[in-house]
Amino acid sequence: MAILETTGQLAESLKRSRADYIEARLEESESSQITYRGKELEAAGRTTAVGGNVRALEKGGWGFVSFNDLRELPDRVELAVRQARFTGKEESHLAPAPPIVDTVPVDVKNPLSISLAEKKQLLDEYNEIIWRTPKLQTSVISYGDSYKRVIFLSAQGSYVVQEKAGVTLRLTAVARDGSEVQQVGLSLGSPGDFNQIRGLHQQVKEMAQHAVDLLAAPQVQGGEYTVVLDPILAGVFVHEAFGHLSESDHVYENERLREIMMLGKRFGSRDLDIIDTATLPGLRGSYKYDDEGVPATKSYLIKEGILVGRLHSRETAAKMGEKPTGNARAINYRYPPIVRMTNTYIEPRAASFDDIISEIREGVYAKNWYGGTTSMEMFTFSAGEAYMIRNGKLAEAVRPIMLSGNVFTTLHNIDAIGNDLDMNQGGGCGKAGQSPLPVSNGSPHLRIRQCLVGGR
């Protein structure tokens, strides 16, 4: 591959540079995309990209240069160093990380080896199922896959080659009856295994029919309820509402957040453990080394209800006197690595789903996700599906609901954690213009007291 031929020259240029620290990443990638809007195929195609970047640190200032042309690499190195010298005015801080030499291949069949025609045939089947359903107004199917090889080099002698792959599929059905409009979505993903999106015909049928059924479903009376979240919505909650607050660049740069996110502070019951780790096999957020060449770790953010950790790059770890966690990530070579989540989840406990709902006289069961926003510790999320719970049993379906509140109050109000951890791989994370970064999130079923539900 083209980038392999340039690494020797680049490594020598890095070693000759005069910066406090300097590194480079080279990347070669392929991807394909297929999109349907309504009954029609909107777009289908394949793309390739080759490029790289150099990042230099001098007196606390960073220089960053990205490029597509792999010629004249010594000039790229020199430019990054000049930028760093121009911005640097303080002392450089980086947590120590020993140089690593390693090659990490993907362990699945490259999804790009499957033809676009075969992928389109499967998606045609799904689209046909959706449009057999009456009262549909429109639908959207968005499929994407990728394969990339990334080489990380540093002046200290690191040389890490990692192959990465990914597959994502998002389907949405929108039903309409007069002025009433409802939609239901289905999101899936895998770290490159195309077989994970085969055989979804029954799920697609149920998704489309549920959108139609919601047209006649009642709305919840707004107010405080005991709410049970399914693993998908609970995973989105822990990622969006809490995980981003654990990214240490946010904490370091925000004095109010530093006061809130003090290590040793209690945020929930002794049953509550929240983890972020890239070490789990078979998940989209997993890898062996981050984009600074730091090995992935398992980081407890909350342990037995106590805040015990946060996510770090080498720079944030040094500035805060903590250890790097291997969470410096970049979406591609056009961007520098920043602190990002990987696979974030709540650890399971002993309760079954029946146990969790058995004590609820009147409550709401919220499933799947539709969207949401967060602002510091405040959140608002839309569930994709909702059902009433009456006298310990699931009852009628209701219109999708909005959940809102303070994340820390909500964590304290979790009073039952299920035994059925499930990881959602259908989404992507956005931060600082880098989106969608491959991540996964998950949880068992959760029961939350005094949760504010928006309705009539």
Give pLDDT tens digits for 33-91. 999 999 999 999 999 999 999 999 999 999 999 999 999 999 999 999 999 999 999 99
Residue 372's pLDDT is 77
When the pLDDT of each residue in the chain is averaged and rounded to a whole number, the result is: 95
Residue 337's pLDDT is 98
Q: How confident is the model at residue 325 (pLDDT cuts 50, 70, 90)?
A: very high
User: What average pLDDT does range 305-310 have in this prediction?
Assistant: 98
Give the whole-angstrom CA distance, residue 272 versus residue 349.
9
Question: Which of the four CATH numbers 1.10.1780.10, 3.20.20.370, 3.30.2290.10, 1.20.1260.10 does domain 2-216 have?
Answer: 3.30.2290.10
Residue 374's pLDDT is 86
Residue 1's pLDDT is 47
User: What average pLDDT does range 2-25 have in this prediction?
Assistant: 91
Question: Which pLDDT tens digit goes with each residue over 106-150?
Answer: 989 999 999 999 999 999 999 999 999 999 999 999 999 999 999
- 39: number of Cβ within 10 Å: 12
Residue 216 has pLDDT above 60, yes or no: yes
Residue 373's pLDDT is 81
Residue 369's pLDDT is 87
Q: Which residues pair with 23 in a beta bridge?
A: 55, 154
Closest CA to 274 of 202, 344, 350: 344
Residue 246 has pLDDT above 70, yes or no: yes
User: What average pLDDT does range 175-198 have in this prediction?
Assistant: 94
Q: Who wins on pLDDT, 107 or 302?
A: 302
Q: State the pairing for strand pair 440-443/343-346.
A: parallel
Residue 427's pLDDT is 82
* In the block, residue with structure tokens 């957040």: 257
User: What average pLDDT does range 306-327 have in this prediction?
Assistant: 97
Residue 456's pLDDT is 60
Closest CA to 245 of 283, 274, 285: 274
Instruction: Report whether 127 contacts 171 (CB < 8 A).
Output: no
User: What average pLDDT does range 406-422 have in this prediction?
Assistant: 97
Residue 455 has pLDDT above 80, yes or no: no
Residue 370's pLDDT is 80
Question: Which pLDDT tens digit goes with each residue over 225-239?
Answer: 999 999 999 999 999
Instruction: Report whether 264 contacts 362 (CB < 8 A).
Output: no
Q: How many residues does the chain have?
A: 456
Domain-by-domain residue ranges, the chain?
2-216, 223-454
Q: What percent of the chain has pLDDT over 70?
A: 99
Lowest-confidence region among 64-78, 309-323, 361-375, 436-450:
361-375
Residue 253's pLDDT is 87
**Buried-exposed string 61-94: b where 16+ CB fall within 10 A, e elsewhere:** bbbebbbeebeebeebbbbbbebbeeebeeebbb
Residue 11's pLDDT is 94
